[in-house]
Amino acid sequence: MGRGARPTRLHPRYMKNAYLFIYYLIQFCGHSWIFTNMTVRFFSFGKDSMIDTFYTIGLVMRLCQSISLLELLHIYVGIESNHLFPRFLQLTERIIILFVVITSQDEIQEKYVVCVLFIFWNLLDMVRYTHSMLAVTGTSYSVLTWLSQTLWMPIYPLCVLAEAFAIYQSLPYFESFGTYSTKLPLDLAIYLPYVLKLYLLMLFIGMYFTYSHLYSERRDVLRVFSIKKKM
């Protein structure tokens, strides 16, 4: 009897690309659903829809942002080419604002700044994940490449300003309710309003570092892309 055919093994590169494609697709679908939901609700209910933005889409937003922490693992193990520290700064900004500032305070969840933040985050992520998803398949469009490397330039600073404003609006509530403020042994204590005020300074320092990194990355990507088009 002849030997059976040996099963074909998938090349690790194809497995990596398949995994990244599924990850980017999940993120794209999540953020697209959020953006579409917000748009439809705004045209249906006007400004009233902005007040309950968090109540209608907050769960999906928290899920998408939680999953995005996998990107740090992707970079660390080498399946995604990016710099770890700048991506860590961007993800940390969102996690702190979403889970510490917004989720913990019901009063902040009804503020217009939450809706504005969600719009900015989703605009950036829909373009970024679309570009990344297509890039994994070897597909590239000049307009999409340019957009993914340019859209952040006006929106990212606005995101940071909106995040800072959300922190500023939350301070009175953290001071009144004492949320996350804890007494420690030896007459020490963690007073979150002070921590958030310090984080405001770090937020703008981090913005400068991240903006510089993204600008350098944009210059390199567009230069390489223009060379490929000429070949």
Name the catalytic one among 23, 129, 156, 199. Answer: 156
Type and span of the H or E element at 46: none
- Is 163 designated active site? yes
Q: What does the alpha-carbon distance between residue 178 and residue 187 come to, in Å, rounded to a whole number? A: 17
What is the rounded CA–CA span in Å between residue 135 and residue 129?
10
Which residues face 101 on adjacent strands?
none
Catalytic residue among 71, 80, 93, 163: 163
**Rounded distance between C-alpha atoms, residue 191 and residue 99, angstroms:** 17
Q: State the residue for tokens 């697209």.
A: 32
Q: What is the 3-state secondary structure (H, E, C) of 95-158?
A: HHHHHHHHCCCHHHHCCHHHHHHHHHHHHHHHHHHHHHHHHHCCCCCHHHHHHHCCCHHHHHHH
Instruction: Tell me if 114 sits within 8 A of 57, measured CB to CB.
Output: no
Return the ∠ at Cα 182 (arms to 196 and 63), rounded to 5°: 60
DSSP state at residue 186:
T
Residues 6+ apart with CB under 8 A from 81: 75
Catalytic residue ranges:
156, 163
